[in-house]
Amino acid sequence: MNKTQVKLIEAAEHEFAKHGFHGASIRDITARAKANIAAVNYHFGSKETLFIEMIRHRLEPLNTLRIELLDDAVAKAGKRPLKIRRIVDILVRPMVESVVNGPQNRNFMRAMGRGMSEESEFMQQIYKDVLAKVVERFRLEMARSLADLPESVVAICFAYLRSTLSGVMQIRKNNLVLDTSIQFPDADTLVAYISGGIEAIAKDYRTQNK
């Protein structure tokens, strides 16, 4: 990946984060990257492919790390299923800390969070290419951890987890709903929140069905 391509991707992260996929224009992206208007189509083929490559560029290393951490934790736990909080931690912490360490990742997070609400075909392709495997892996691990709950309840828990992450990724500075705006979630509280929420659902179910 040469210098122009990297500049284009970083400019794309900025513009897609700020205006969403349809709201961002190739002209603004190339202008920000100080490249020619034709550069996107020359290097990436299309606006959609640029978006896909932007996601892949940041997400693939992140997901590799997540899988490694999960594999380690599962190996150390032996036969015992992991605790929910542990699973959520492994899923969430690398993401949050990538934003803390690299400010550019913040734009990427927001761009991707917004993209996840798209239902165009190119977004489904992103899901299949760089997301599906990781999602399936974590979902299975969570189902194992909540083995006493019916599949439908686990599915709801997982949907809420995903919705929370998707919502958190879209948080921006000077957030509409926040005067006391937070910079970006810290891993500890976010993990506590999500796993606490899931455990509360599980607890409700258990007390209702005991």
Kindly state whether residue 140 participates in binding its own copies, applying the rule CB under 8 A: no
Q: Pick what 162 binds: DNA, its own copies, none; C-beta below 5 to 8 Å, kind-dependent.
A: its own copies
Kindly state whether residue 28 participates in binding DNA, applying the rule CB under 7 A: yes
Quick one: which of 102, 118, 101, 1 has its CA closest to 53? 1
Q: Pick what 47 binds: DNA, its own copies, none; C-beta below 5 to 8 Å, kind-dependent.
A: DNA
Query: Which of 59/116 has CB closer to its own copies?
Result: 116
Residue 144 neighbours by CB distance under 10 Å: 14
Query: Which of 1/182 has CB closer to DNA?
Result: 1
d(CA 72, CA 144): 16
Kindly state whether residue 197 participates in binding its own copies, applying the rule CB under 8 A: yes
* Interface segment toward its own copies; rule CB under 8 A; list 6-14, 36-44, 99-107, 115-123: 115-123
Dihedral sign computed on CA atoms, order 202, 97, 57, 16:
positive
3-state SS of the chain: helix, strand, coil percent to 5? 75, 0, 25
Draw the binding track, 57-96, toward its own copies (x: CB under 8 A; -: no contact): ----------------------------------------
* Interface segment toward DNA; rule CB under 7 A; list 37-45, 105-113, 125-133, 140-148: 37-45
Tell me the DSSP string of 129-168.
Answer: IIIHHHHHHHHHHHHHHTTTS-HHHHHHHHHHHHHHHHHH
Quick one: which of 98, 82, 60 has its CA closest to 141? 82
Kindly state whether residue 26 participates in binding DNA, applying the rule CB under 7 A: yes
Half-sphere exposure in the Cβ direction for 107 (13 Å, CA): 17
**CB of residue 38 to DNA, shortest distance in Å:** 4
Using alpha carbons, list the distances in angstroms from residue 191 to 38, 94, 200. Answer: 43, 11, 14
d(CA 133, CA 63): 9
Both tokens assigned to 138: 């974590």
Kindly state whether residue 123 participates in binding its own copies, applying the rule CB under 8 A: yes
List residues near its own copies by CB under 8 A. Answer: 18-23, 110, 113-114, 116-119, 123-124, 127, 131, 135, 151-153, 155-160, 162-168, 170-172, 175-178, 180, 182, 185-186, 188-190, 192-201, 203-204
Provide the binding-site residues for DNA, judged by CB under 7 A.
2-4, 24-28, 35-43, 46-48
